[in-house]
Each structure stands twice: as C-alpha cells, then as structure tokens.
Amino acid sequence: MSIYMMKQETAEAKAVVVDDMFLTTDMPTTAGSKMLEGYNSLFEAEVLTRLKNAGYAVAGKTKVGEFGVDLLGETCYFGAEYEGESLQYPAALAVKNGDGKAAVVLDVNGAPRRGAAQSGLVALKPTYGRVSRYGTIPVACSGETVSVIANNGTDCREVFCAMAGHDSKDGTSLPESMTEQGKAAVNKRNKVAVLSSMLKGVNEEVQAKIAAAAEQLSKNGVEVVTIDAQTVAYAGAAWNILMSAELCNNVSRYDGVKYGYRTKNYTNIDELYTNSRTEAFGDFLKSAILFGSETLSTENYSKVYDKAMRVRRVIRDDMAAMLADCDALLMPAVSTLSYDRTLVERDKYLPYKENFFTAPASITGFPVVVAGGVQLVGNAFSEELLLDLAELV
Amino acid sequence: MKYETVIGLEVHVELATESKIFCSCSAHSFGAEPNSHVCPACCGMPGMLPVVNRRVVDFGMKAGMMLNCDINRVTTFDKKSYYYPDLPGAYQTTQWFAPVAVNGRVDIETSAGKKSVRIKQIHMEEDAGKLVHDISEGTTHVDFNRTSVPLIEIVSQPDLSSAEEVEAYLVRLRTLLRYAKVAECEMAHGTMRCDVNLSVRPAGSDVLGVRTEMKNMNSIEAIKRAIEFETARHIDALENGTEVLVQETRRWDDAKGKSYAMRNKETAGDYRYFPDPNVMPVVIDDAWYEAIQNSVPEFPEVKREKYIALGLTEYDAERISESIMLCECFEEASEACGNPKEVVNWITSDVMRILNAKKMTYEMLNLDNQALGKLISLTGDGKISRANSKKILSAMFDDRSIDPEAYAEANDMLIGEQNDDMILDVVKKVIEADPKSVNDFKNGKEKALMALFGKCMKELKGNCDPQQLKVILLECING
Ligand SMILES: [Zn+2]
C-alpha cells in the first residue's frame, strides 16, 4: 500500500483517484484531520456518482493537508509526503505513479495547482459553479472548486466533462442556460497577457518557466503582452481573510457532540467542545480558525471582512476587463519548484504567502489551467480555450 | 414621579410550510419520535449544501405584506455562529444584512385607544433542535426534528407601553398571520414565541432607560405577568435604589412570578454574522412579487364591514371575521346557497358546536364549504329534516368528499314528493293505535299532541318536515 493514499481494488481501465475532501460511502473521509479519523459518510459526493455513471472507477483516495488549506499536504494528520527533502503533493504522486488517469481534487487554497506546477502535470480548476460541490468537505465555500490533475490536457478535459453540469443539490451550481450563454460569449483573441505584478518573489527557475511559456505561445502565433495589474496582487491578502473566516465557521460543526473525535477528558459541555477541538485540530488549522474568527468579530467585520469582499469585487472587475481583450493571464503558480523540508517546518505561514499566486483565480472563481509549471487564468467559461492554450506551453 | 414603560418585541413564528427551509425533510414533527424528521443536511453533516425552499420565501413575503412592510427585492441569507448542542452546524442561517421585509406597521386598539406599532423588520431563519434531559440517567439527548424548520422573526420598534398593548399586538399578529395562512401561531405548541425588551423612563422623557430582555416567552398570560413584574422592578430600582439596573437577559419563572438574571455565559457572545456563500441572493422579480401580492387576503375589518352590509349583525360579523377559515366557510357556503343569514346561523350554531365537541380550532376547519351550502339549501327546501341535516353535517366533518344529497338518499334521509300520502298513512295508523291520546288532546291536554307527534316522527324515521307533519296530524285529529 502506498503511503500517499488508501487504495481500492479496481480492474477498470478508466480509473481515477480522488482526494480525501470528497465524501465516499465505501471508504472513510478524513479531510486529513484527526477530527474526522474513521468518519464514514452516509452519502457520496455528486462528482463521484457522475464519474461512476460515466464508467470511471475510484482507485483510491489521496491524502490532503488538514482541511485542504495548506501548501501540499504537510499538515495532514496521517503524515506528509517527502521525496528526499522535497515536499510532495499526494494527488500528483498518484497520477505520476499511474494509479489513475486523473486525480479529482478540491482546490481550497491552491494546493492542487502548486502540486501540478511542481510535478510538471496539467491541472484544471474550472469556473466556480460548473462542477457540483455537493458531498465535498466544506471549507472556503465561496471559492473552493472541484478540480482535475492529469498527465495532459486531454485527460483533464475528459474527466472534467464527465463531472461538469448543473446539480440541483448545490445552490451555487450554475444553470445550464447560463453555462451555454457563457461559453458562447467566449471569443478567441489569440493573445495572452503576462501579469508583471504577479512575478514578485519568484525564483529564477520559476521565472524561466514563465519565459519559456511566453516563448512557446509566441512561437505558436499567440501575441504575448505584459500588463502591470496592481489590484490582482492584493488577491492573496483578501483571500486569506475570506478563506479563514469561512473555514472558521465551517469547521465549527466539529465539536465532538455528533460525530468525529470526542475527548475523553470532560465534565461539562464547554470542556467537551474545547478539549475535543484542542486535541483533534492541528496547529496550522487552529491559527486559521483564530484568524478567521477575528476577521468576523463585530469590531473587525467592516474593517476587515467587508473590505476583503470589496477587494474581491474590484479584482474580479479588473481581471474581467483584462480578459475582455485577451485569452488568458499568464502568471506563476508557485514561488519555487520545490518546497524544502526545513523551509516548510520553519515558516508556518508559507501557505498564506504562496497563495499570493493562486488566490486571483480562487477569489474570482475564474477558471485556470496549470501547464508547463505556470498558470493561465481565463475568463468565466473559457475552460476549453485554456486547455487549447495549455497544449502550446 | 410618573413613569412610562417602553417595550419592543421580537416574535418568532414557525412558518407552516410542508418542508424545512434548506432540505426536503417534513417540517411537521410536533409530537413525533425524536430524530425521525432528519437528514444529513439538517443534522449539520459536512458536504450537504443548503437549497432554499421557495415556499419559505413566499410565506416570508406574504407575512411582510400582511404587516404593511416593504419587501426587499433582493434578500440574502447570512450565517450566525454560536456553539450549542442543539445547533448541529454551530451556525444558524438567518437574515442579517438584507431581511425579506422592512419598515412595516401593525395597528392595534386597546382601552388607551388606537395605536400603530412600527415593525423594524421581518427576517427568515432556521429553527434549532431541542435538548431532552434525562434526569434519572443524568444525560442529555439531542432531538434534531426541529432543526431547519423555517421561522420568521418579527422585530418591532419599542412602541408598546403596557401589558395590554402587548397582548393586543400579539393577538393582532396572530390573526393577521393566520389570515395569510402562513403560520399556526400557537404559543402552546411553540409555533409562536416571544422575546420582550423592556425599559422604564420618567413619563415624557425621550431618553431610553436601561433595557432588559426576557427570552422565549410562550404564553400571553405569562408575558403580561412578566411585563408587570419587570416594570415594577425597574421603577423600584429607579425610585428607591433597590438595585442597579444593567442591560441583561433575564429568565422569567412563571411559577414563581419572578424574573432572574441569566448567567453571563448564557448570553454573552459575538455571533460573527457573515453572508452565507452557499446560498445565492434570492431575487424577487415582478412576477413573483405580484403573485404573492395577489394572494394576500382582505383584512378582518374589511370582511366585517362587508358582512354587516350583507345583513349580518355586528356580533356575528365580528365572530365570523375572527378567522379566515370561518370567513371562507361563510363566503363559499353563502355563494352556494344564496342565503348568508341562514349560513351564519349554521356556522354559529352547528358548525361551532361540532368544532367544540371535536376540540378543533377554527383554523382546523376542513369542511367542503360548497357542500355545506348545498346542505343548507336542501334543509331550507324541506328535502332533509333539520334533525337529519345535523347528522349529515357531522358526517361531512369526518369525510370531506360527502355530497349531502347523495348521502341523504343513500341513508334514507331524503324527503320525497309522495310524502304527503306516506305521512297521512302513518298518522292514521298512530291515531288508530292510541285513541286515548287523541281524546286527551281533544280535552285540552297539549302534551298529548306532542306524544302523538313523536310517535309519528319515529315511524317516519325523521324523514319529514315537522311543520308539515303537524299540519297533517291536526287535520286528522280534528277530522
Ligand atoms: Zn433535513
């Protein structure tokens, strides 16, 4: 048995793996947390039902960091994955190992995109609302999106098509009519913009990836321009606020009363709550809970949370304006192509820093493709166009 | 010094929709087995997403219209966070930023005169579950049947100034919401609950005093007692310095007739409201708005005036307009039989008698009103005796599908055309068999006639018009 996943026997050729943020009825769902160790769901995620109906089989579940908010799974209660001293993303390992033709993952805070960028795989995070979130562990509901990682764009596209579409069980799922309209409104401009404001703090290797991608696109007849988009650089700061606030609220349900971990050490309800959560949640998650709780306090709501929502709207408008004129915004997905163990263990705030690159697509709900180690963020409903561009880089 | 009491109410009303607010579980579990009306969604399990029940928005809007509110055409849901074992997700989905209805008005009348109570807002939200304490075991169990049952909270401005006004306001709210058929409003069932915010200040002052809140009051009588107690306590504190008033939540102990400060822990807290990202803003377009507006009923006063114009006494008009179910019964039956005065007699006697006997409220009335009109016509036309019509009405209460004519025919209760002859035969037979009573009557004993009449009626199984029988009987005796 591999360390990065729980395996299941499957004879199917069309095997996929899913990460541990998806509820399954034949295997436990833990979200990488001691809190949900051995938790068995009463129902399964909508996307799994759709994949099975399309002839896919689930070959296993890959590990995630606690509630999927970290870099690459380093906060997983069941252990992080390192190759040598280099942190590895379990879903990417599974794809590279051939456990499935694709990994279906929940992109909460960019981990799948970081994993794909560092492993040289292709990842697709579709437009928010195109794939049902029913049956995924809720964390940062306003941005998290069911995504796909595969060896190439073709496999990504195939699995995405099997999952996408309206689901009446998800109130944020887009109606088919809106998707059809949105897709029809996508115009190919044959132009890609590099966002210079997003190149801040990336190392030479990553800079080289950006340069290589730009060159490949140019070679294939795509005009590449550079835009200095200052507002987009604030996406990370705003997303950290929104994500933490939603996370704080969403993990409040794990209180030791109904299911999940319950402390043995309590004499009253307050101790039951406090001790269960203290004993079962990891440090990184606790810091996110505290931060989120703070942003929503009566004192801070308008100063912090509400402001972050305004920033979100500004960024969305600005990016939509840029995308009216080009097919995609080219930007890095990571600052470095490998996270070293000592760095990961020393800098506990690394996930909050690295999501500088992934937050623009998380906060706007715009689709993004990772290929050739870089991100191509497109306008809503432009998944097909992005996957075409990904072929070129 | 003279003082005045300033009271604002927060009234929670359970909406009478079939299903819960965000899942398809039945919303009606009063008296049901614990946790028999639950699903992963209303138990707060991860992965279920809320989908707004549109009927809840219908009812919320309609309630707003009944209370003269402006309807927010884009209304949103927000999360309110707190920990309590009966709240499975550790948050309640409610409306904090854009409630469905705002700026309303409820008119009341008391011995102090007429008054308009301003409504600040009406918001929709989900109810919490219930804790069941097992004292013998020393354990507490959670029942989630009630979680996610839709509620509206009606928040008034501090416009009320006495227990009498509070009672009038609550009764008026109940009448209006029952008129709109959006809620049961039965305090004894917990489908209407009330938080009372109260402060006292010198009469004429425009500065509000220290406010205390009493939560979850569930009977009008208890509310009145609590208001009187709190008012006296506040005045005593102001006048005699018996205690220092603090803004706090208090619990009313109705048995002891006293209010108590609750432990600070039970009341303190920051609810961390924020928009629920899983529930899209509800946009009420013109078609939706108009459909609800068209379903808003006439107010009780309008009905009463209309009924008086139809010739009903003020007393009867008042009684009927008390309940929308009686109004509908009256209006539909009158239309079917064309005799409103006769219908009101039936409603205020037979219908109310049966309701009473069955321990049913007016709101539980489930007659086929047109069939009632038909029954009244048939009785008026002498086709069914008054005695039998009561039996038929009783049957109609149990089975809504009964057609009174078909039922009378099937049960030998229909008075046919050939009946004069039949009655004559029976009368002759009875007279022949009882010459003594005939003689007694002829000698001035009135009671003897009643005996003969009763015997005839028995023979006829009640299938005859009593007036007609009396005429024939007298003709036969008098030769
Ligand atoms: Zn339910």
Cα–ligand 1 centroid distance for A104 (angstroms) = 28
Question: Contact B72/B96 with Cβ under 8 angstroms?
Answer: no
What does the pLDDT look like over A152-167, one tens digit per residue? 999 999 999 999 999 9
Dig out the tokens for B238 from the structure.
């102001």
Question: Nearest chain A Cα to B52, which residue?
Answer: A171
Please work out, in degrees rounded to the nearest 5, the angle formed at the alpha carbon of residue A173 by the alpha carbons of B75 and B91: 55
Is B274 in contact with A249 (Cβ distance < 8 A)? yes
pLDDT bin (cut points 50, 70, 90) of residue B367 is very high
Looking at the complex, does the CB of residue B40 fall below 8 Å from at least one CB of chain A?
Answer: yes
Q: Report the alpha-carbon distance of residue B178 to residue B297 in Å, rounded.
A: 10
Please work out, in degrees rounded to the nearest 5, the angle formed at the alpha carbon of residue B201 by the alpha carbons of B199 and B202: 160
pLDDT reading at B122 higher than 70: yes
3-state secondary structure of A135: coil
Cα–ligand 1 centroid distance for A67 (angstroms) = 25
Up-side HSE of residue B3: CA atoms within 13 Å toward CB? 19
pLDDT bin (cut points 50, 70, 90) of residue B100 is very high
In this prediction, residue B264 carries a pLDDT of 58
- Which of B46, B83, B280 minimises the CB distance to A137? B46
Is B85 in contact with A168 (Cβ distance < 8 A)? no
Is A41 in contact with B43 (Cβ distance < 8 A)? no
Question: Contact B172/B106 with Cβ under 8 angstroms?
Answer: yes
Q: Report the alpha-carbon distance of residue B60 to residue B100 in Å, rounded.
A: 7
Provide DSSP, A220-269: TT-EEEEE--TGGGGHHHHHHHHHHHHHHHHGGG-SSSSSS---S--SSH
In this prediction, residue B477 carries a pLDDT of 86
Provide DSSP, B366-417: ---HHHHHHHHHHHHTTSS-HHHHHHHHHHHHH-TT--HHHHHHHTT----T
In this prediction, residue A1 carries a pLDDT of 40
Q: In what order do the strands lie in the sheet with A57-62?
A: A5-7, A57-62, A15-19, A102-107, A145-150, A122-125, A368-371, A374-377, A328-332, A191-195, A223-227
Q: How far is A248 from chain B (nearest CA, A)?
A: 10
Is the pTM above the cut of 0.80?
Answer: yes
Contacts of B48 in chain A (CB under 8 A): 43, 134-135
Mean pLDDT over B197-222 rounds to 91
Q: How far is A113 from chain B (nearest CA, A)?
A: 23
In this prediction, residue B417 carries a pLDDT of 58
Q: Report the alpha-carbon distance of residue B420 to residue A127 in Å, rounded.
A: 85
Specify the pairing of strand B74-75 against strand B150-156: unpaired
Question: Contact B205/B180 with Cβ under 8 angstroms?
Answer: no
CATH 1.20.950.20 fits B420-477, yes or no: no
Q: Report the alpha-carbon distance of residue B291 to residue A368 in Å, rounded.
A: 42
Please provide the CATH number assigned to the domain covering A5-232+311-390. 3.90.1300.10
Secondary structure letter of residue A169 according to DSSP: T
Q: Where are the domains of chain B?
A: 3-286, 300-410, 420-477
Among residues B244, B283, B211, the alpha carbon closest in space to that of B6 is found at: B211
A243 Cβ contact partners less than 8 Å away, ≥ 6 residues apart: A69, A108, A109, A139, A140, A143, A288, A292, A362
pLDDT beneath 70, residues of chain A = 1-2, 10-13
Q: Report the alpha-carbon distance of residue A67 to residue A288 in Å, rounded.
A: 11
- Which of B40, B81, B274 minimises the CB distance to A43? B40
pLDDT reading at B463 higher than 80: no
Mutate to test the interface with B, among A30, A168, A169 (most CBs of B within 10 A): A169
Looking at the complex, does the CB of residue A133 fall below 8 Å from at least one CB of chain B?
Answer: yes
In this prediction, residue B125 carries a pLDDT of 98
Q: How far is A189 from chain B (nearest CA, A)?
A: 32
In this prediction, residue B465 carries a pLDDT of 77
In this prediction, residue B95 carries a pLDDT of 98
Among residues A128, A111, A168, A134, the alpha carbon closest in space to that of A48 is found at: A134
Average pLDDT, chain B: 92
In this prediction, residue B263 carries a pLDDT of 67
Write down the residue that tokens 């102001």 correspond to: B238
Cα–ligand 1 centroid distance for A259 (angstroms) = 17
The alpha-carbon radius of gyration of chain B (Å, integer) is: 30
pLDDT reading at B193 higher than 80: yes
Is A141 in contact with B277 (Cβ distance < 8 A)? yes
Beta strands in A102-245, from DSSP E residues, in sequence order = 102-107, 122-125, 145-150, 191-195, 223-227
Q: Report the alpha-carbon distance of residue B69 to residue B294 in Å, rounded.
A: 15
In this prediction, residue B242 carries a pLDDT of 84
Contacts of A141 in chain B (CB under 8 A): 277-278
Cross-strand pairs, B71: B101
Q: How far is CA A349 from the centre of its chain?
A: 17
Question: Contact A104/A64 with Cβ under 8 angstroms?
Answer: no
pLDDT reading at B216 higher than 90: no
Per residue in B183-199, is it b (16+ CB within 10 Å) or e — as a string? bbbbbeebbbbbbbbbb
B286-291, long-range: CB within 8 Å, 24+ apart, which pairs?
A: B289/B61, B289/B71, B289/B73
Number of other residues whose CB lies within 10 A of the CB of residue B242 = 11
Looking at the complex, does the CB of residue A136 fall below 8 Å from at least one CB of chain B?
Answer: yes
Question: Contact B107/B113 with Cβ under 8 angstroms?
Answer: no
Looking at the complex, does the CB of residue B279 fall below 8 Å from at least one CB of chain A?
Answer: yes
Cross-strand pairs, A231: none
In this prediction, residue B158 carries a pLDDT of 96
The residue type at B396: M
Number of A to B CB contacts under 8 A, please give it: 95
What does the pLDDT look like over B298-329, one tens digit per residue? 999 999 999 999 999 999 999 999 999 999 99
- Which of B79, B83, B277 minimises the CB distance to A255? B83
Specify the pairing of strand B91-94 against strand B78-81: antiparallel
Evaluate the CA torsion angle B179, B180, B183, B185 in order and state its sign.
Answer: negative
Cα–ligand 1 centroid distance for B125 (angstroms) = 15
Q: Report the alpha-carbon distance of residue B64 to residue B61 in Å, rounded.
A: 5
Specify the pairing of strand A191-195 against strand A223-227: parallel
Q: Where are the domains of chain A?
A: 5-232+311-390
Dig out the tokens for B216 from the structure.
């979850």
Residues within 5 Å of ion ligand 1 by Cβ? B 23, 25, 39, 41-42
Q: How many residues does chain A have?
A: 393
Specify the pairing of strand A102-107 against strand A5-7: unpaired
What does the pLDDT look like over B34-78, one tens digit per residue? 999 999 999 999 999 999 999 999 999 999 999 999 999 999 999
